[in-house]
Amino acid sequence: MSDTHASPDTRRELGQYEIRLKGHLEARWAAWFDGLSLTPESDGTTVIRGSVIDQPALVAALTDQTIAGAGLDVYAKEPHAPDALTALPNVVLSPHIGGHTLESHVAMQDCVLANLDAFFAGKPLPFFKAYFLGGPDSVRGYAGFSLGPQDINGNAVGGNRRVNGTAEFQFPMPGATREQSLRLGLFLDAGQVYAQGQKLALADLRYSTGLGLQWISPFGPLRFSIAQPLRSRPEDHIQRIQFTFGTGF
């Protein structure tokens, strides 16, 4: 198992190594390698952000059967799984729900408390505990976790402060007013993430407005939104139509 956090220094890091597996339990890093290479019987586990994997190298290794298969829950550009992966028969994909467990939620609560302690003590936050915004759970109309400071490749790196607010007017679905689990909403979202030492300027806030649909289905909450970003900038990752199923985490 490899456990590597996402940062500008670890982008596509997994593709720079040759991974050899001992049985199905142990993975060890070997010499530098130009591309991802495992044995055809390999079965390994990585607990990392999608940007750490050299995705084209992974696709090539899966296509020519250098490795037997892959199960992925995160991708280089969230939340999109590229066609090159979805078309492969030896790949199992899930929509970033692997961490949706009781233990993970407890860990996130502890992380929030630790972040608050660090902030009020004037200590910097580790990059893997940084704040992120964007997506259906914060500022709709922008890609998930994409707002705020970015690296040279345009990927969000997070910050130690964030401003986020939502105003939403919800009303029954026309023609289904007796169905309490189905509703529409008009919303206005606002938010931004700020890096260590960056001035908290309200002029940097990103806004969006739009229409949302929410259905508390027998299988879990389903949300769909169409948003128009306001005051967006060229470096922003726009995603006007968003869909989520299940509880966010």
Give the pLDDT score at 206: 96
Neighbours of 1 (CB within 10 A): 10
CA-based R_g, the chain, Å: 20
Say if residue 3's pLDDT is above 60: no
- Rounded to whole angstroms, the Cα distance separating 18 from 119 reads 39
The string of pLDDT tens digits covering residues 6-15 is 555 544 444 4
Which pair of structure tokens corresponds to residue 136? 């259906």
pLDDT for 123: 74
Query: For the stretch 6-25, what's the b/e string if a residue is b when 16 or more beta carbons lie within 10 angstroms of its beta carbon?
Result: bbeebbbbbbebebebeeee
The domains of the chain, with CATH numbers, are 8-93 (3.40.50.720), 132-245 (no CATH)
> 150-197 pLDDT, tens per residue?
988 888 888 888 999 999 999 988 887 677 788 999 999 999 999 888
Chain centre distance of CA 139: 14
| Residue 26 neighbours by CB distance under 10 Å | 10
Length of the chain: 249
What is the C-alpha to C-alpha distance for residues 245 and 216, in angstroms, rounded to an integer? 10
- Among 193, 210, 199, 205, smallest CA distance to 232 is for 205
Contact 70, 51 (CB under 8 A): no
